Every structure is written in C-alpha cells, then in structure tokens.
Structure 1
Amino acid sequence: GSITDSDLVLRVFSDYEIQTCIHLAAQTAVGIANRAPVPTFETNIRGSWIVLDAARQWPGLEQMLVASSDKAYGAHKDLPYSESVALQGDHPYDVSKLCTDMIARTYANTYGLPVAITRCANMYGGGDLNWNRIVPGTMRSVINREPPVIRSDGKPKRDYVYVQDIVRACIMLIENLAKDRDAHSGMAYNFGTDDPVTALEMVESILDISGDNNVKPIIQNAASNEIQDQYLSSKLAEERLGWKAEYSLHDGLLETF
C-alpha cells in the first residue's frame, strides 16, 4: 500500500487499534528529491498529513512521533542549530521535511494530537544500501578495493549519528510523551552527536577502520543543492529527555563495517 492512500492509512489505524504511531515513511534521498521533486512532495508532505489526519480521526491513539530532519533548518550562519532556529529550507528535500515538521506541530497545537517531532542529524548504520550516501558508498568501495568517491569538495561539515542512538532517541521520546503529554506534545527535538566532521574526515575514518589507508578518495567537487556546514545542538534532548548519543564515530563505523 501507499502512505498517500488516505482510506488505507485510516483503516490501518482502525484495524490494528494503533495506540503508538512512529511515522518514519519518507523519500529520504536528496539527489532523488532534486531530480523528482513532485513525487518527493507527494510522499513526504501529502503522506505526512494523511498519517496525521488518520491519527486525529482514530480515538485510540495515545502518542505519536513524526520524523522531520536537520535539513528543515536550511542554511544558517550560527552553528550549531538549536530548536529555536527558524526553519528555512530552500531545496526540495529540505522543504518537504520543513512542511512535515510544521504540519505535525499544526495537528498538535490545533487538534491536541499527542505528537512530538524528531530532527535528526545524518544517520548511518547497518542495512543502509543507498550507495549514494557517504557511509555505505565508501564502505562498498573499500570492500570492492576501489577508491571512494566524494561528490563535494570534501569540506562540508556534518553531524553523523549511529542508527542505534536514534532508535533509543525515538523510544525515549515516545516514553516521555506517554508520561507527560502536555510537556512534549508539539515539541521538536534535535538528535545528534555534537561532534561534526567533514566529508573527507568521514571517508578517512572509514579507510582507517578498514585498514586500507593507502587508498586515496576521488574528490569530484560536483555536489549541488547542499548546505556547506550543518550540525545540531542536542542540549534540549539531554536536558528534557535524558538522551545523549552513546556511540562515538569510530565505534558506530566499526559496528557498521
């Protein structure tokens, strides 16, 4: 079925008597969003309001989480981004997550829907087979004994967070929302490591873990519609949820590899 099928989504809530909903469904590839904005908007924006409206109509819902993204912030000079920074994404994927974020908060503030929002840094981990992403793409190149490719000039700085830390973040946020709906409903939380690295540093870290330090990456300097430096402050999540990333970049990459 499709996330944009409103009748199907509402039936899922009813048939399975959903109490907790974690909405992660999305088109997540920036490159695909640039090439095909309309399907991205259909999935990420329309799909989100359909899920949120089904949740509004289903009386059994007790708590809900919606995944936004650090990309919703767009480009800002002041780093790291806190949750109070304006959402001003300019490009298709960024705008699609910005809209998802704002629609979720609309349902919380207007209809009292018990929904909270996650804004996660760049996630990586086992099972990600999107070879256009820097971590799986570089690891595949290393395994195939090929030089890894960096699409940018290697200098863009990002915060990379291991998927197990994000799973724990989602569970902790849902649990806190269940305990105190008023304190967390309509709230957005950043989740990252507070330790950003450049694209070149990320590739070098993977090469170091693989033991193949003699390979030199190919730097294409061809990335478009991407923000130069973007990373988050996770201070609010630590203060209000007790969450903090547990995996270092080295440990997360080692487990992924």
Structure 2
Amino acid sequence: MMVLHRGKFGNRALSIYDKNILVTGATGLLGNHFSSHLSKNNCNFKALALDDDYVPSYKNLYPEINLNFIDIAEIDKLKTFISSNKFDIIYHFAAQTQVGDAIENPIRTFKSNIEGTWNLLEVCRKQNIPMVIASSDKAYGISDILPYKEDFELKGEFPYEVSKSVTDLLANTYKKTYNQNLVTLRCGNIYGGGDLNWERLIPGVIKWLLENKTPILRSDGSYIRDWVYVDDVVMAYIEVGKKLIENKVAAPSYNFSSSDNYSVDYVYRKICELIKGEYIEPEFKITSEKEIPSQYLDSSLIENDLNVVAKVNLDEGLEKTIKWYKDYLKL
C-alpha cells in the first residue's frame, strides 16, 4: 500500500518527502517557497544560497530554514558539500534571473547560470544524483509560432535568454551522453508573495499602489507573458521530482504554466482594480527594448504525461499576492 503524506498541497506519496534533498537558490522566489514547503512537511533537506544583501530579508521571512552559503560556481566546495551529505535528489533553482541585470553584467549572469549549472551536472553525474533543473520560457528566444512546445529550437539572443538556452542544452547533453537521470522544467513568469525584488512588475506595482505612490513601468505594456502562481509551480516541482526518482519521467524537458497569457498592461490594470478600484496612470521609463515581445507556453505534455496542471488563475493569484504584501508591509 502506498503511504501518503499530508502537506500544504494535500496528500503526496512519501517517495519524495522522505528523501534527502538539496535546494539551490533557496533565497529566490521559487527557492524560498519550495524550501518553506519542504520545511512545513518535515523534510530532510539542505538549502544553498549566496551570502548577499538579499539574505537578511529572506531570514526574516523564513526563519525556520537554515541556509548554507556556497557559490555553485566554486566546484571544489560544491563537490565536498554534496558528497558529505549524500543527497537523493537535487532541485537546482540557483540563477541570476533579472533580464536587466543580465544586460548590464553578462559575465556574472553566465557564471551563475551556465558555469553553476555545469558544475552541478558534473558533480551529480559522478555521484549519480537525480536533478530537477529550473529553466524558463526565455530559453526559447523569439519565435514566430506560439505557444512554445518542448521540441522548439532553443535560440536565445540576449544575455539572460542565452544563459537559459545554454542551461537547457547542457542538461540535454548530460542526459543524452551519460544517461543522467534529470529533467528541466520551463516555466512562465512566476509571481506570488515573498518576492522582495521591487524591480519586478507585480511586487513593484503592488508596493507602489499600497504606499500611494505612482507606479513606474519599464515597458509600454504591450509585452505578452505567461503568469503562473508560485504555489502551482512548487506543486509541479514536487510532482516532477517524485516521478523522476521513480524513473517515470519520459521527456528531458517539460513546459509548465497556467495558460494565463496576458499583456503587462492587462496585469497592471488588474492590480490597480484590485487595490484602488480604478486605473492609476503610471510613469513610463522604457528600459526593456531588448526583451521578447510575446511568449507563452504549451503545457499539454506535462499535463498528459505527469497529470500536473496549474490550478490558480490570475485573479485568484493576484488577490493572494496582494494580501501577502499588505500583511508584509503592514498597509
């Protein structure tokens, strides 16, 4: 009989929750929600982070999670840490995720996103540890055909996109060459409470509106994106990891999103409506010329193969997110 474990997302097979897990990038939006979920389910896991300015805020939000400060670009330290802990599975979320920062500092982005990934791949290859690797719809680059499907060419053009394309290609190389047990998950724009990067659209606009300030948009609002709530993404990673260690993952990569494909302007207006009850004229500071105009994912493969489906629509997700920031900012 299959033993079940009750957690935030309901009953889940113990085949993932009783494993020794490593989470990289634990102070990012996805990494902190994922680590918090593991903690609430009394899992045995380690969380990796860089010792940077974001960590104090993270510690205040998630005091129950003990962070280990290791730069995954330093392979010797990484190898020693992983070999001494004997992990059953690794979730790789560590990355520099800001498009603007990638344009300003491509070397830092490539070092984090590309070198860090190949270091983990190599360590996991030699120690035979399964990996779930976080990727992005940005890996596909510009396409005349949408939505993106998993067999589309990976052809990023700008620094952040290229870093994600290369991450996926490295993972595919290790899977095909060494038959490594791994999978990449390409998600749309993840949002939710706990994101303290105020440069991002949703947390930034919410904070400005709650503080009665004029929001600043860095595009004309026409860009179309997939919007997926963070709890749905955590659920997807839990299920994919469970299937991976059961050797039930057939595809090397999966797309995952909510099919909520909306323009930046639509999302902005929706946040205004939910907080102020009316449209608030923003200030425009256009800085996003080097971005993909439209991108959204076809998630049918993961739905059919693994029965993983996003459940939270944009309205519900934004309401939950706004409530989180109201509580956090005490407004």
The residue aligned with 2:236 is 169
The residue aligned with 1:30 is 99
Deviations 1:135-184 (A, max 9, x none): 01101111111122221111111011011011011111111112225624
**Please, which of 282, 285, 288 is the counterpart of residue 223 of structure 1?**
288
Offset of 1:220 from its aligned partner?
3.5
* 1:89-128 equivalent positions in 2, closer than 5 A: 89-128=156-195
Aligned length: 253
Three-state SS of the structure 1 residue aligned to 2:250 is helix
Offset of 1:234 from its aligned partner?
0.6
Looking at structure 2, the residues matched to 71 and 56 of structure 1 have their Cα atoms a distance apart, in angstroms, of 26
TM-score for both structures, normalised by structure 1: 0.95
Looking at structure 1, the residues matched to 213 and 224 of structure 2 have their Cα atoms a distance apart, in angstroms, of 24
Looking at structure 1, the residues matched to 163 and 286 of structure 2 have their Cα atoms a distance apart, in angstroms, of 26
Letter in 1 for 2:169: M
The residue aligned with 1:20 is 89
Q: Is the 8 A contact 1:150 1:200 kept in 2?
A: no
For the pair 1:152 / 2:238, whether they are aligned, the reply is no
Looking at structure 1, the residues matched to 302 and 250 of structure 2 have their Cα atoms a distance apart, in angstroms, of 13
* 1:54-69 equivalent positions in 2, closer than 5 A: 54-59=123-128, 61=129, 63-69=130-136
The residue aligned with 1:5 is 74
Q: Tell me: higher relative CO, structure 1 or 2? Use CA pairs within 8 A at least 6 residues apart.
A: 1
Letter in 2 for 1:115: L
Deviating above 4 A after TM superposition, structure 1's stretches of 4 or more consecutive aligned residues are none
**Please, which of 315, 321, 331 is the counterpart of residue 250 of structure 1?**
315
The residue aligned with 2:200 is 133
Looking at structure 1, the residues matched to 93 and 125 of structure 2 have their Cα atoms a distance apart, in angstroms, of 17
Deviations 1:204-236 (A, max 9, x none): 111111134152222334422101111111111
Looking at structure 2, the residues matched to 87 and 2 of structure 1 have their Cα atoms a distance apart, in angstroms, of 27
Q: Is the 8 A contact 1:114 1:181 kept in 2?
A: no
The residue aligned with 2:299 is 234
For the pair 1:78 / 2:145, whether they are aligned, the reply is yes
Looking at structure 1, the residues matched to 231 and 308 of structure 2 have their Cα atoms a distance apart, in angstroms, of 12
Structure 2: which 5+ residue stretches go unaligned? 1-69, 323-331
Identity %: 38
CA RMSD, Structure 1 to Structure 2 (Å): 1.2
Looking at structure 1, the residues matched to 221 and 231 of structure 2 have their Cα atoms a distance apart, in angstroms, of 26
Three-state SS of the structure 2 residue aligned to 1:68 is strand
